[in-house]
Amino acid sequence: MAKAFPFTAIVGQDEMKRALVLAAIDPAIGGILIFGDRGTGKSTAVRALAALLPPMKAVAGCRFNCAVDATAGLCERCSGHDRKPAVRSATIPVPVVDLPLGATEDRVAGALDLEKALVSGEKAFEPGLLAAAHRGFLYIDEVNLLEDHLVDLLLDVAASGENVVEREGLSVRHPARFVLVGSGNPEEGELRPQLLDRFGLSVDVASPKDIAMRVEVVKRRDAFERDRDGFIERWRTQEARLRSRIRRATKALPGVHVPDEAIATASELCLKLGVDGLRGELTLMRAARAATAYDGHDTVTGKTILDIAPLALGHRLRRDPLDEAGATARVDKAVAELSNV
Amino acid sequence: MRPPAEPDRKASPWNDAVLAAEILAVDPAGLKGIAVRARAGPVRDAWLGRLVALLPAETAVRRMAPNMHEARLLGGLDLARTLTSGRPVLEKGLLVEAHDGLVILPMAERVDRKTAGLIAAAMDEETIRIERDGLSALQPARFALVALDEGIDEEECLPAVLQDRLALHVDLDLISHRDISLAGRGREDIEPVRERARHVEIPDILFAGLISVAAAIVPHSLRPAHHLIRVARIHAALCHRDTAGNADALAAIRLCLAINPAVPDQDTDADEPQPEPPELEEPESNEDAPNDDQEGHDQEDSALNEDRSGKENEPPRETIADPVEAILPRALLEELASRQQKRSKSAGAAGRAGQERDKARRGRVIGAALRPPSPDARPDVLATLRSAAPWQRLRRKQAPSHRKTGRQTDLEIRADDFRYARRRERGETTALFVVDASGSAAAERLAETKGAVELMLAECYVRRDRVAVIAFRGHGADLILPPTRSLVRAKRALAALPGGGGTPLAAGLAMAYKLVSGLERSGEDTITVILSDARANLALDGSVQRAQAMDDALDIARRFKADALSTLVIDPSARGGEQAGRLATALGADFLKLPRPHAQRLSAEVLARMPRKDGRSSRMVERGSVSR
């Protein structure tokens, strides 16, 4: 596969880049939904993220990317291991798995190993994309065109954090926690509300209006295509810098403190906007903590909460189709009112 | 023998088409392909022949059909070889066979969204990822798509997802076979251009100019800008130039955006393909010294930043760089921009005509599903056998011993093997609102219609039906919302609805009839809802004549009835008039009086009349009846 365009070389699209970075720092935030017109760099950004992320530790050779120090949430093989001889650990890149259009359920969830069945008549489980994406990202382009039964499968797994496969007398259960990233063009169709709710953050992207910015985007892309290796080399320092920053933020995250005032601000905002109680607020708080860690601070402020609000709440408002103002406008308005208090 | 820098060809549609083929031949996979608007015939064949002749002799050329089965396009398990060899063998899909070659897609305007999406994904990643039927594979697939758009109406065109990615666009429809000539470059001329093109420089000002033009014509996507740059470079290399100049920029604009900047009464020295000196002509309004390119660029930037226009949906017209003015007069640009916006509104409408409905019972088979589409569906025997075949060895091993003595040919079939045919039923229902936006009550009526449309669309992810809106007032009728399922699109299109003026009822009905009969022709169900008191006062020819206006309207109405098109007339006026009733009778439509129509009631009435998924209509009223 071709090498990815460097994340730090993406011009503008600050909100989208921010959402992706926050999800990398704290996967518990939930998935990211990126909605926007054609040719706005949605897929480019997600694929660039894969190259950017700092590598992680996993059990060597484990098909499910099991964590080394964990005692729970492991696959059958890893939890069955006699733990005394130390489990060998390997450093692997954070998985960013693409769900291709035309994927069938058996490859997504995993099924019998075809080769083994054919060659030796042996029954073995061949893990699917959900296993490969564990502790990483699962990317779905054109998410609003996804087939219904796949949507159902993803919702199930996202809710339980586990994938259960029962076929041909096989019964396999393995952990599957990943950040779901979906991108698409809203003009192609609506997303089911149940699926929409699964996403932690949402961003609307558009092509830049500023000609100078557009020129820069095309120039960089052009340079990248004419000399991929050279371009990636030129941006290597920037990439490394962002990578370290993300690594530091991930380490600092458990130490970030959320004071009562910040919680109160979040609740007030959610009440004002009529957001579905719990999930919106939780996401808002988690995202604010990640943002605080990223900025190098250790206490979440009300200002950060209000800053993050559009990302976390934008898609949780789409209830009333008769409402004139778009979702972002409503969030901005509420945020403005609260900041003046 | 070295060909002349610019072969002595006059600018003509055929020569442009040949030029496009030459440019494509230089870098097929990089340009992603070409959209050719042309019906089948000698001109198209001749052009295709030229294109293939320009490519290296061993280039793979594959022809695909717009309704091709997914498995054939992408590939999958080669069942026969798998069973014989005892190992999984991959069958190459058509897109993989075309690696480093061409894919020709005739009737491209009829390709459905899903297939277009598959092709687009393959073009973006230059690989085919297979995750189906137990197989997981990654295969290279770098190809160029030659999309042959055979559409006749303006509404029939390529799906936007493909149109955006294909760099070149040509139209062969206006070319007669008498215009075909053999002049042009040959394969051996194209070969050296590939390397030369990589080193062509584009001056900053020209770069910015091309981006500005792209921004004006296609504001929402940056891909056309990339295409312009690439094509300008290749054109320069074809003409043996090291630096791209105005002629190259113009050629790129003609071939990528399918527009011809030639305006008869303007100064036309810019658009004849004469060999030009490599340095730029400085446009008169640019104050900087000609050699100081960098400073000129900065000055341009600050001017651009100040001029930035505010409204979200408008292209940044005020920010068009000065050099572009020299290439394309502003008035022409604006006209082209509006034409493009009209085109993009209906892009892919015809392709969507074949949109699958997952629970369809009729129609052609397009794939195999694991779950039955309806409780009493019959399994697809062949697909079921295919899915059971690879596991036979395994199952025989595990079969209980008394069965092992059975015949070798017995098949072990499990519940998981069953496959059901996924059919594409050409059918969704489109609800078309024809709204009377005339007079003083217009604003309220429009607002309620907008509300009803949005309520219906909010349900649409379940129903998979579409909504469209035509408004008529003043000068005539406008299709303000083309058929769509997207709430976002509806909100944008209905955001600012104009109202007031005379009542051109006939014009509104005429536009509605055209749209609806087109949809019905492609197999869709429609329901037309006319929201008006039918007090027409503008005739089709524009004259303010009540009697004539009503006659014109009734004439068209009768065509609705003759074609048995499903219609509903809603009279929103406070005082009753019998005109709306007369219209309903002529249409053969249901008639409702709804003084002060509310969005909820409106949408409920329309939804009640739309056919349900099981084929039965859930209409509560008899056709042609009147209710209060």
What is the rounded distance in angstroms from the CA atom of residue B25 to the CA atom of residue B190? 7
Phi, psi of B582 (to 5 degrees): -60, -40
Under an 8 A CB cutoff, do B208 and A187 touch? no
CATH classification code of B429-627: 3.40.50.410
- Tokens 């406070």: give the residue: B574
DSSP state of A89: E
Residues forming beta bridges with residue B369, ordered by sequence position:
B420
Mutate to test the interface with A, among B222, B340, B412 (most CBs of A within 10 A): B222
Both structure tokens of B414: 């499990």
Amino acid at site B491: K
- Tokens 């026969």: give the residue: B80
Both structure tokens of B348: 């892919």
Work out the number of other CB atoms within 10 angstroms of the CB of residue B598.
12
What is the rounded distance in angstroms from the CA atom of residue B486 to the CA atom of residue A191? 10
pLDDT of residue B545: 82
A180 in any annotated domain: yes
Classify burial at A141, counting beta carbons within 10 Å of its beta carbon; exposed 0-12, middle 13-18, buried 19 or more.
buried
Model pTM score:
0.70
| H or E stretch at A106 | helix A105-109
Q: Does residue A123 share a domain with residue A201?
A: yes
Work out the number of other CB atoms within 10 angstroms of the CB of residue B312.
10
* Pair A288, A304: CB distance under 8 Å: yes
Per CB-CB distance under 8 Å, the chain B contacts of A139 are: none
* Pair B148, B173: CB distance under 8 Å: no
Which residues have C-beta within 8 Å of that of residue B310, sequence separation ≥ 6?
none
pLDDT of residue B373: 66
Answer whether residue B162 shows pLDDT above 50: yes
pLDDT of residue B350: 36
pLDDT of residue B568: 87
Q: Which of residues 27-46 of A touch B (CB under 8 A)?
A: 37-41, 43
What is the rounded distance in angstroms from the CA atom of residue B19 to the CA atom of residue B12? 10
For chain A, 341 residues long, give each residue's pLDDT as a single digit of tens. Answer: 467 899 999 998 999 999 999 999 998 888 899 988 777 888 889 889 988 888 888 887 788 888 777 767 777 777 765 554 556 788 888 888 888 877 888 889 888 887 777 777 778 888 899 999 998 899 988 887 787 778 878 878 877 888 998 876 778 888 898 888 988 887 676 677 777 777 889 998 988 888 899 999 999 999 998 889 999 999 999 999 999 999 999 999 999 999 999 999 888 888 888 876 688 888 999 999 999 999 999 999 988 998 899 898 888 875 554 454 566 777 888 888 887 76
Residue B573 CA, chain-centre distance (Å), reads: 39
What is the rounded distance in angstroms from the CA atom of residue B173 to the CA atom of residue A130? 49
Residue count of chain A: 341
What is the rounded distance in angstroms from the CA atom of residue B163 to the CA atom of residue B154? 14
Q: What is the percent of chain B where pLDDT is above 90? A: 20
Which 3 state secondary structure label does DSSP give B612?
A: coil
Domain boundary residue, one of A207, A242, A266: A207
Answer whether residue B105 shows pLDDT above 80: yes
CATH classification code of B13-257: 3.40.50.300
Nearest Cβ partner for A209 among B77, B225, B316: B316
Answer whether residue B308 shows pLDDT above 60: no
Dihedral-angle region of residue A73 (phi above 0 means left; psi in -120 to 50 means alpha; beta otherwise):
left
- Tokens 């003409």: give the residue: B239
More confident: B417 or B515: B515
Answer whether residue B380 shows pLDDT above 50: yes
Q: Which of A23-32, B407-416, B498-507 has the lowest mean pLDDT?
A: B407-416
* Pair A228, A3: CB distance under 8 Å: yes
Please report the beta strands in B252-370, taking only residues with DSSP state E, as ranges in sequence order: 364-369
Nearest CA in chain A to B138: A1
Under an 8 A CB cutoff, do A106 and B134 touch? yes
Both structure tokens of B50: 């030229």
Q: Could you tell me which of B180, B332, B319, B168 has the C-alpha nearest to residue B251?
A: B168
Q: Could you tell me which of A61, A55, A45 has the C-alpha nearest to residue A8?
A: A45
| H or E stretch at B485 | none
- C-alpha separations of B111 from B68, B196, B444, B486 in Å: 9, 36, 40, 20
A223 in any annotated domain: no
Q: What is the CA radius of gyration of chain B?
A: 29
The half-sphere exposure of A58 on its side-chain side, counting CA atoms within 13 A, is 21
* Pair A54, A243: CB distance under 8 Å: yes
More confident: B109 or A185: B109
Work out the number of other CB atoms within 10 angstroms of the CB of residue B291.
10
A329 in any annotated domain: yes
pLDDT in tens, B270-282: 333 333 333 333 3
DSSP string, A8-70: GG--S-HHHHHHHHHHHH-GGG-EEEEEE-TTSSHHHHHHHHHHHSPPEEEETT-TT---SS-
Number of domains composing chain A? 2
Q: Which of residues 171-200 of A touch B (CB under 8 A)?
A: 186-192
* Pair B157, B109: CB distance under 8 Å: yes
Q: CATH 3.40.50.410 residue ranges in chain B?
A: 429-627
What is the rounded distance in angstroms from the CA atom of residue B129 to the CA atom of residue B263? 47
| H or E stretch at A109 | helix A105-109
pLDDT of residue B378: 76
Amino acid at site A101: L
Q: Does residue A28 share a domain with residue A171?
A: yes
What is the rounded distance in angstroms from the CA atom of residue B261 to the CA atom of residue B269? 11
Amino acid at site A182: G
pLDDT of residue B268: 36
Query: Rounded to a whole number, what is the distance in Å from the CA of B94 to chain A's nearest CA?
Result: 15
pLDDT in tens, B309-333: 333 333 444 333 444 555 555 556 6
Nearest CA in chain B to A149: B371
Question: Where residue A181 sits, what CATH number does that domain have?
Answer: 3.40.50.300
Nearest Cβ partner for A218 among B77, B134, B222: B222
Q: Which of B186-200, B239-253, B348-362 has the lowest mean pLDDT?
A: B348-362
Q: What is the CA radius of gyration of chain A?
A: 21
Among A192, A234, A247, A279, which one carries the catalytic annotation?
A: A279
Q: Does residue A174 share a domain with residue A113?
A: yes
Residue B470 CA, chain-centre distance (Å), reads: 20
Amino acid at site B211: I
Dihedral-angle region of residue B168 (phi above 0 means left; psi in -120 to 50 means alpha; beta otherwise):
beta
DSSP string, A239-308: HHHHHHHHHHHHHHGGG-B--HHHHHHHHHHHHHHT--HHHHHHHHHHHHHHHHHHHT-SB--HHHHHHH
More confident: B220 or B315: B220
What is the rounded distance in angstroms from the CA atom of residue B378 to the CA atom of residue B419? 9
pLDDT of residue B559: 87
Q: Does residue A143 share a domain with residue A51?
A: yes
* Pair A299, A260: CB distance under 8 Å: no
The bridge status of strand B135-140 relative to strand A56-59 is unpaired
Q: Does residue A199 share a domain with residue A135?
A: yes
Domain boundary residue, one of A172, A190, A207: A207
Q: Which of B19-33, B229-243, B412-426 has the lowest mean pLDDT?
A: B412-426
What is the rounded distance in angstroms from the CA atom of residue B531 to the CA atom of residue B509? 11
Q: Does residue A166 share a domain with residue A34?
A: yes
pLDDT of residue B307: 33
| Contact status of A4 with chain B (Cβ, < 8 Å) | no
Domain boundary residue, one of A207, A238, A264: A207
What is the rounded distance in angstroms from the CA atom of residue A149 to the CA atom of residue A328? 31
Both structure tokens of B351: 């392709």
Give me the sign of the Cα torsion angle B226, B229, B233, B236.
positive
pLDDT in tens, B138-155: 899 999 999 999 988 776
pLDDT of residue A254: 93
pLDDT of residue A141: 85
pLDDT of residue B346: 45
Which 3 state secondary structure label does DSSP give B368?
A: strand
Q: Does residue A105 share a domain with residue A14?
A: yes
Q: What is the percent of chain A where pLDDT is above 70? A: 90
Mean pLDDT of chain B: 75
Amino acid at site A320: D
What is the rounded distance in angstroms from the CA atom of residue B55 to the CA atom of residue B24? 9
Residues forming beta bridges with residue B527, ordered by sequence position:
B431
Give me the sign of the Cα torsion angle A309, A310, A311, A316.
positive
Per CB-CB distance under 8 Å, the chain A contacts of B393 are: 117-118, 121
* Pair B37, B172: CB distance under 8 Å: yes
Which 3 state secondary structure label does DSSP give B261?
A: coil
What is the rounded distance in angstroms from the CA atom of residue A202 to the CA atom of residue A311? 5
DSSP string, B109-166: GG--HHHHHHHHHHHHHSEEEEEETTEEEEEE--EEEEEEE---SSS----HHHHTT-
Q: Does residue A100 share a domain with residue A18?
A: yes
pLDDT of residue B353: 34
Which residues have C-beta within 8 Å of that of residue B71, sequence separation ≥ 6?
B93, B132, B367
Q: Does residue A193 share a domain with residue A110?
A: yes
What is the rounded distance in angstroms from the CA atom of residue B366 to the CA atom of residue B113? 13
Query: Rounded to a whole number, what is the distance in Å from the CA of B473 to chain A's nearest CA?
Result: 24
Q: What is the percent of chain B where pLDDT is above 70? A: 71
Both structure tokens of B508: 């509104």
| Contact status of A216 with chain B (Cβ, < 8 Å) | no
Both structure tokens of B224: 């056309």
Q: Does residue A161 share a domain with residue A36?
A: yes
More confident: B609 or B338: B609
Query: What was the ipTM of the complex prediction?
Result: 0.83
pLDDT in tens, B552-565: 899 889 888 888 88
Answer whether residue B136 shows pLDDT above 90: no
Question: Where residue A267 sits, what CATH number does that domain have?
Answer: 1.10.8.80
Answer whether residue B578 shows pLDDT above 90: no
Range of the domain at A197: 7-55+93-207
Instruction: Tell me whether residue A279 is one of the annotated catalytic residues.
Output: yes
